[in-house]
Amino acid sequence: MKIVQIDVHQVNLPMTKTICLSGGRYYKSLDSTIVGITTNDGITGWGESCPYGANYLPGYAQGVRCGINELAPHLLKKNPVHIEYLNDLMDRELIGHYYLKSAIDMALWDILGKASTLPVCELMGGRWGDGTDVQVAISVDAPETMIRTIAAWREGGIHKFSVKLSGEPKVDEDCIRQIMAAAHPMDDYVFDANKGYTVANALRAMQNVRDLDFLLEQPCATYEECRAVHRKVLQPMVLDECIDSLKILLRVIADRSAEAVNIKISKVGGLTKARKIRDLCADAGILVCLQDTGGSDIAKAAITHLAHSTPDTIRHSLWDCKDAIEIETARGVGEIIDGKLSAPIKPGLGISINKSAIGKPVAVYK
């Protein structure tokens, strides 16, 4: 089997609601890159990379397509099921820039699943349970508005919430208290600063909510700053933006600096590297939430496969990366039932691409 063609599609993803993070970062639409890799025996695998704006993590939408232009010639005529080899090849030919390699790696797993007639989750460890709890993000807003949004999701069976903080200590302290006062017994809250605090402000924000039961996520920009906060707060900590490799996870384990991590597929370079991080978390007893930086149905399918193959002893949740996306780029991902998502049962990612939604390719390599 050989790769004979790589198609690259650029797709604008309009959002049904504006997403707001700390520091006044707003996102009204996303720019996604969708990749189709075709083999000489007619199998096409699909992948997606969608940076959440250029001011969230290193990486930007046009950079995905520029990077694929660098890598595509090196991938043609290679065997797509040699996934570890091709990941090593990509890392040798283009140092770093993991976010753009994720779309390619995702497509390779889709090919492997289709060629072996197995769903990706069964290739990654098998299905654990009947699905994964879904966590939804609650944007920065007035506390009463956030409480109403949470209540609406709860009516739909969701009980895990990632509540975004503003980065202003007194504002956030009041927000946390009001939301927790309205919480239901089954609710599970993460309060996420998205790197918005200094160490001093993180401690100021947390000192008067020490009695409340929630997880604190990525208060500061760097690992060292988050570690300093972790040593002085009572709440368990989730690390997100700084978890970008196995090396940093080894530091987390050695320092005992977090109780949970978010694994974003594109941030670490694809499903191959995400699985390795997931497996090390399982050995270390660290909770994981499976995510991606953004994207549509294709990225969502990949997340559900990684999540469903994760041991339920460490699996906290998955983030529905397309809950606010208006268009459907693929069918077959599945619907949230009783607050859970299950991985598709068809081979590969288990989805069928909506060709009219992704349009014609902006680049073709063959």
Q: What residues are annotated to the active site?
A: 164, 264
* Distance, CA of 56 to CA of 244 (rounded, Å): 13
Written as one string, the DSSP assignment of 2-49 is -EEEEEEEEEEEEEEEEEEEGGGEEEEEEEEEEEEEEETTS-EEEEEE
Is 259 in contact with 286 (CB distance < 8 Å)?
yes
Query: What's the rounded Cα separation, in Å, for the pair 363 and 69?
Result: 8
How many of the other CB atoms lie within 10 Å of CB of 198? 15
Q: Return the exposure string of 121-146: e unless at least 16 CB atoms fall within 10 Å of the residue's CB, then b.
A: bbbbbebbeebbbbbbbbbbbebeeb
Angle at 92 between CA 87 and CA 98, to 5 degrees: 55
Q: Are 226 and 257 in contact (CB under 8 A)?
A: yes
CA distance linking residue 172 with residue 193, whole number of Å? 9
From the list 52, 71, 70, the residue with the least C-alpha distance to 61 is 52
Q: Where are the beta strands (DSSP E) in 172-227?
A: 188-192, 215-217
CA distances from 117 to 32, 36, 77, 120, 165 (A): 28, 18, 22, 9, 44
Structure tokens given for 280: 């090390």
Q: Using CA atoms, how far apart are residues 312 and 191, in angstroms rounded to an integer?
A: 22
